[in-house]
Structures are given as structure tokens and as C-alpha cells.
Structure 1
Amino acid sequence: MNRTLEILEQLIRFDTVSANSNLKLVSWVEAFLKDCGFKVQRIPSPCGEKAGLYAERGPAGPGILLSAHTDVVPVAGQEWTRDPFRLTQEDERLYGRGTTDMKGYVASVLAVAERASQAQLSEPLKIALSYDEEVGCVGIREMLDRLAPMLGKPRACFVGEPTEMQVAVGHKGKAALRATCHGQNGHSALAPEFVNALHLATDFITELRALQDDLARTGAHDAAYSVPYTTVHVGKLTGGLALNIVPDQAELLFEYRHLAADDPDDILNRIRSAAERVSQQYRTRWSEARIEVDQYNAYPGLDTEVASPVICHAQKLARRNDTTKVAFGTEAGFFDRLGIPTIVCGPGSMEGQGHKPDEYLSLSQLNACDAMMDRILEDLRQ
């Protein structure tokens, strides 16, 4: 536990907010793992300002994969009462940006890697660290072509997002979209003679709300989620230059988070059809009226089958008898799509501490994670 805390203290000092480079942290971790006898491969981002890592130690074979991201969410605009980039221990709480999401888990992974350097392994311990998870799982997607051949086929993947050490077997997939609405400029005194782009946008929002209502009523349901159906959400609407000018363009950003049983391609097709219906209503007045829908980001969901052996194995290692599904997205779906049995299990509470000012991780949660790592290490020695 003391060693894990020493490592966590160092990790928190690196300001790896997603807008910043993570290369200093990556260099430190890379050297750490090499000192532990791991084979380490750095995977640079396309821009070269960030990188992920893949590390492995032990004989060839399936092994177990431990997965985490290195970036954290911003602290700007939040009221912290402590330095967010300095680990502060008060009673049973460890304060600092990323303690829960998810440098506490990374510290536990590195601590077990150090213990593994003194162990005789019968299977490999595999570690994957990514970047830019907090902005839509961008990093793992960019890494995957190079990462997948290195991974092989681990018999289990533990993604260490905060679940309070429960074994999470599912989360929704997500797609982020942009709708650009095209209308006509004109003087507001003659507004009815022009197609107002904001009118297209608001009519399109009405269509999205109707789609949401239909998905809630007739779509798939999964009672394991607090919101048990696929959701459609509009987060931002912009348009117009001045009050006395009819806007010729408006933009809205929206998303859908889908259950595994709902086909994301079908949802996207329904969205595009709604955009076309709205556009056609305005083309009788102006033939160029249109709404362009662009999907600019997406990540897959996770829905590990109840009968999958990885669940029982994870429960044994985590000392849990229950399972859960989480509301937030993770990188787990990417590993699942590679055919790697995957669950999510890590210390801390996303609902209680994730992304909040004065983020903290309890010592008991970190201790439980360290204990799970010890059992994983013993499992690899058998």
C-alpha cells in the first residue's frame, strides 16, 4: 500500500488534462516499467504530442491485460480547496485530480508490475495505457491498429474505471454528432421571406425529441441501467450574427447513447431521415434548405454475456459476488470487439467523486484494488 501511494503521488503531479501533453508521464512510466523488466512499446499519437504504452512481462501466452487511461478532466472553473496536482491525504481520503478517474488504478497497476518483476510467471502480465479517453475514447481508437497485434488474446481484460470494485459487465455505446442547418440571410424586417436556419434547427430538435420518446416507449430496455433505454440528447445550439439579421446557418451538437440491443446504424439512419424530413418542409420556399448531419466521434458499448467465464473469474479476483452496469462510457468495448473477454472494475466512485472538485479516493478502495492485483499476480504464477 505504501508503494502504491508513492507511485500515485508521482502520477498526480503530472498535469495530464486532456488538452495537454501526457509525454512527461509516459516517459516516467516507461522508465518505471523497463526497470521492472517489462518489454515496453510506446505508441505515439498522430500529432506527436501524446502517447500510449503497451508493456508485457512473462512467457508467451494469453495472460491478463490491465487497461487504463492517463488523461484527466480539467480543473478550470472548479472550486478546489486543495492543489489538484498534489496528492493530499486527509484521514482516509486521498485528494487530487485523477485519484479516482483513474490514476489510483494506474498506481495499483504499476505497483503490481513492480511485484511481478520478482515473481516467476507462468503467463504474461500485460498493461495498456492510453490517452484522450476523457474526450470520447479518442486515444485508444488511434492506438488500436498498432496495439491489437501486440495484445494477442488475453484470457481477461480488466479496465480499471471507478466501479467501487464491483464487476461491471456493461455500459452503453455512444455517438457524437453535429447538425449544420443551412438557411438564408436577410433583413429581419422581412424575416418571413427567408428561411431561418434556427427554425430548421429547432424543428430538427423536435424530431430528435420524438425519436427519444419512441426509443423510450418501443426500443430495447435493460433494467440494469438507471435510464433503461437508449437516449438522445442535444447539448448545444448556436446560430445567428445579430438580432436584425435572419441567420443563414445554425449548428447543434447532440449525441445518442445506445443499449447493445439497439442497432446504432439504425438510430443514425433514423436521425438522417428526420433531418431530411425537416429540410423538405423548407425547400418549397428555398430549394437549398438542408441539414447536414456529421458523426464526428463514437465508441462501442460493452455487454459481456452473463455466461462468460470472465465474469466468474473477475468476481473471484475482486472478491465480489455481484455485477453491475455503469452509466458512463469506457474503453472496454474496444477490447471486447477484439474478442478479448472484458469487464470494468476499479477503485472509487464515478458518481461520488469523478470529475468533481476536490476529487478523492478512499484508502479502503485503493487497498481493495491492491488486494485484487495481488490475486491477479498469484493467478499468473499458477
Structure 2
Amino acid sequence: MSPASLSPLEMLERLVGFDTESQKSNLPLIDFAQDWLAAHGVDAIRLPNAAGDKAALVATIGPKVDGGIVLSGHTDVVPVAGQSWSSDPYRLHVADGRAYGRGTTDMKGFDALVLALVPHFVATDLVRPIHIVLSYDEETTCLGVVDAIAAFGRDLPRPAAVIVGEPTGLEVADAHKGVAMCETRVGGTEAHSSRITEGASAVMAAGALVARLNALGDRLIGDGDPTGRFDPPFSTLHVATIAGGSARNILARECAIGWEIRYIPGVDMGVLQAEVEALSRAVEAERLTRYGPFGAISNVWSVDVPGLAPEPGSEAERLALRVVRRNRPVTVSYGSEAGRFQGAGLPTVLCGPGDIARAHKADEYITLDELADGEAFLRRLAAELSR
């Protein structure tokens, strides 16, 4: 049985203790959170993935009516392998006003605040509900929240606003770029390099395709950012990895290209993907099938996380600005699950304690003052929903 209460720092210690790197299961953490909620009389809906090794959790506190607020946080963290930590990354270490551990900022600090305040939320006379969402796979695909989003308006009341607790320093962020990642596989046919008409080099074809992707990236730069909100002020295309071939005198049988597009809201990724397919077919004709049916190109889009578009005056923006006592929203450079909520027609902003600059690094930390400020923010939010 869970104890009657835990401070935010004590709750953070519990959550950091679960190794929830994205390639691993988050079920022990979800079990703990579900037991904690149940101990305070709060039922939760468990939403497992297809493999059954991960799950999202959704809980509602307060009246079962429309118009509530979602507090959403992901439970997965990035790996620590290869990083030089000064202490065990999965054991909270507190020193000099800082709490160190993997996920303290991104974003178990917010999760800990929400769970630690469950007794307070339950005791508050809410007239609009607080919905808690704990998701998985945010660091990889942002798909672990999709089933939870679908539950609202079907199994649960439809909320009026969503606050995703990414580390914004408690600024209210209403915009970020989307990101689409692609793995391009170029297949060729091996032949002696002195007899290029008897095969096709996957590496040469890959180089031709990268040149065309460069040109597409330059065009995106030229298209700019009509909102004037983003830095850099345009969508970007970046080829990160390329690998293929076996010897200098053999036409390469295969080559792999890893690349991404980070796009401003409003860019139609479907149109861009179709353009990439057209470029691929053109390179096939020029480099892989010039002398015979010696190769092909395939593009696998492994990630497509939608951006968050500004919605001036939305319920989420107005409420969050009022509660955190800010005058205007900001833009962030990283992606999140917020675009998926927005895509379902739910007004959404980012707002949480901590600094994203500390995320994904060795000795990640959140300050005790940031936790205190985050707690005050959530207590004010509960007061707003009790009026």
C-alpha cells in the first residue's frame, strides 16, 4: 500500500528509481502510479501497447463533466549509455539545491509534482476535473499518448485544455516545430568497377539523392517562417548518416541514408513526402536502371511528430498564462506530444518546471526551487478549477 502522502521530492525519488529508457518497459512505474492513485480513491484507465510491455495511464479527479484540464507527462527517458555521470543516474542525488537523476527535468519532475499533489486535488472541491495522463515512447515516436487522447470524448469527458508539462521554465509555450525522420535504403547491383554497365552503385545513387535533398532543404529555407516565431526562421532538412559499399573496386550493393525534416506548423508533410518519392524515382531512373533493372530506392518514415501551431486566445493559453502569471506565450525549439493533442482538436500548451538545456545530458537535474515553483503553479491551477 502506498503511503498517504509523499512530497514532490520524495515522489521524484520514486520515479527516477524506475529505469524507463525508451527501449525498456515502463510497467513498474505505471504499476506504482496506478497503486498510488487507487490508494487515494482515484480509478485509472490502463492503455497497453500492442506488445504489452508498456502502457499509458489516464485518471480523472473531480466531477465527470466536460471542460476539465489535462495534465500530461511522458514516463520514458533517454539512455544514459556512454555518458559520464557523477552519481547513479537512477538514484536521486540531492546536493546544493539540485536534484540529480535521469529524467528529473525531462520530465519526471512534472510527473512527480502531479502525482504528489493527487491528495490535494482529491481534497479540493473541483467543479471541473483534472485529468492525469502518463504516456510512453515520447522520446522516440510520440505515439504512446495516442490511445489516451482517443479516450477523451469517448470513455472520458472531453477536456477544455491540455497542459503538457515539458520543461519550459514555467513559461507558456504555444508553438514548436514538427519532426519527420526517414531511413532511405538504396539497393544496387554489385559488379566490377571497370564494368559499370553490368550493375549499379547504391552509393553513387545515394549521393545523387542527397544532392537533391540538399536542394529541397535550401528551398525550405527560402520558404521561411511566415509566423516569425521560430529560430531558425524556416523548416530544416538534415542528412545525418550515410553508409554503404564494401570495396573501392566493387559497385555498392546497398547504401543507407538517415535524415530528418524539422518543419514549421502549416507545412504539409504529405506533400513533402510525395516530393521525396518523386526525387527517389528520378534518381532510380538516372543511376539504378540506366543499364538494366539493377536497383531501387525505398523510404521508410519512422517518425512523424506534428508541430504545435499557435492558437492565440485559446482556453489552454489563457488559463496557463493566468495561472503562471505571464503576459505572453513563447516558442520552443524541441518537439513534444502537444501536436497530437492539438490534432485531436484539444487546445494545448507546454508548461512545466526545469530547463530543456539540461535534458538528455549527464548529471541532468532540476532545482528544488523549480520544484517548489511547479508545485505552486499546480496548486493555483486546482484553485482555478474549484471556482
Residue-by-residue CA offset, 1:45-68 (whole Å, 9 max, x unaligned): 111111110001211212111000
Please tell me whether residue 162 in structure 1 is matched to residue 158 in structure 2: no
**Contact 2:6 2:116 (8 Å CA) reproduced:** no
Give me the whole-angstrom Cα distance separating, in 2, the residues matched to 1:258 and 1:311: 22
Q: Secondary structure of the residue that 1:139 maps to in structure 2?
A: coil
Corresponding residue SS for 2:298? strand
User: Which residue is 1:381 aligned to?
Assistant: 386
2:279 aligned with 1:290, yes or no? no
The 3-state SS of whatever aligns with 2:375 is helix
Amino acid aligned to 1:349: D
Q: Deviations over 1:201-259 (max 9, x none)?
A: 11101101100101101344443222111111112212223444321211112111111
Residue-by-residue CA offset, 1:274-322 (whole Å, 9 max, x unaligned)? 1122112122223343222222221211113123232121111112223
Report the CA distance between 1:41 and its aligned residue: 0.9
Following superposition, the deviation at residue 335 of structure 1 comes to: 1.0
Q: 1:149 aligns to what SS in structure 2? A: coil
Change (3 A) 1:166 1:332: same
Corresponding residue of 1:346? 352
Contact 2:48 2:56 in 1 (8 A): yes
Q: Which residue of 2 aligns with 1:73?
A: 78
Q: Among 272, 275, 290, which residue is 1:270 paired with? A: 275
- Equivalent residue for 1:201, pick from 179, 199, 206: 206
Deviation at 1:34, TM superposition (A): 1.1
Matches within 5 A, 1:126-145: 126-141=131-146, 143-145=148-150
TM superposition shift of 1:265: 1.3
* Residue aligning to 1:257: 262
Mapped contact 1:54–1:147 kept (Cα < 8 A):
no
Q: For residue 21 of structure 1, what is the amino acid of its counterpart?
A: S
Aligned match of 1:85: 90
The structure 2 residue matched to 1:39, chosen from 43, 48, 51, is: 43
> Could you list the runs of 5+ residues in structure 2 that have no partner in the other structure?
none
Residue range with higher mean Cα deviation, 60-69 or 306-315: 306-315
Distance 1:168 1:366, change over 3 A: same
Partner of 2:374: helix, strand, or coil?
helix
SS of 1:6 mapped into structure 2: helix
2:25 paired residue among 7, 21, 26: 21
Moved more, 232-241 or 152-161: 232-241
**CA deviation digits over 1:7-49, x for unaligned, max 9?**
0111111111111111111100000011122121111111111
Task: Tell me which residue corresponds to 2:362.
Answer: 357
Deviation above 4 Å: which 4+ runs of structure 1? 142-148
CA–CA distance in structure 2, aligned partners of residues 39 and 368 of structure 1: 28
Q: What's the CA shift for 1:140?
A: 1.8
Q: How does 1:117-128 map to 2 (within 5 A)?
A: 117-128=122-133
Pick from 278, 296, 314 the counterpart of residue 308 of structure 1: 314
**Aligned counterpart for 2:16 among listed residues 9, 12, 18:** 12
Partner of 1:58 in structure 2?
62
Q: CA 1:142–1:177 in structure 2 vs 1: closer, same or farther (change >3 Å)?
A: farther
Specify whether residues 148 and 329 from structure 1 end up closer, same or farther in structure 2 by C-alpha distance, changes over 3 A only.
farther
Q: SS of the residue aligned with 2:154?
A: helix
Partner of 2:115: 110
Provide the residue aligned with 2:326 in structure 1: 320
Structure 2 residue 371 is the aligned partner of structure 1 residue 366:
yes
SS of the equivalent of 1:169 reads strand
C-alpha separation in 1, matches of 2:38 and 2:334: 33
The residue aligned with 1:213 is: 218
Number of corresponding residues: 381
> What secondary structure is seen at the aligned counterpart in 1 of 2:303?
strand
* Partner residue in 2 for 1:95: 100
**Contact 1:69–1:129 (8 Å) recurs in 2:** yes
- Tell me the distance in 1 between the aligned counterparts of 2:38 and 2:150: 23
2:181 matched to 1:181? no
For 2:313 and 2:149, locate their aligned partners in 1 and report how far apart those are by CA, in whole Å. Answer: 27
2:241 match: 236
Cα separation, partners in 2 of 1:209 and 1:100, compared to 1, 3 Å: same
Partners in 1 of 2:115 and 2:254 — Cα distance? Answer: 50
Report deviation, 1:142.
5.4
Q: Any conservation in 2 of the 1:220–1:261 contact (CA below 8 Å)?
A: no
Relative distance call for 1:219 and 1:121 in structure 2 (3 A) is: same
Task: Please say if residues 55 and 126 of structure 1, whose CA atoms lie closer than 8 Å, have aligned partners that are also in contact.
Answer: yes
Q: Deviations over 1:47-101 (max 9, x none)?
A: 1111110001211212111000001100010010111011111112111000000
- Equivalent AA in structure 2 for residue 42 of structure 1: R
CA distance in 1, matches of 2:238, 2:98: 35
Task: Measure how far apart 1:151 and its partner are.
Answer: 4.3
- Normalised TM-score (structure 2): 0.94
Distance 2:24 2:304 in 1: 22
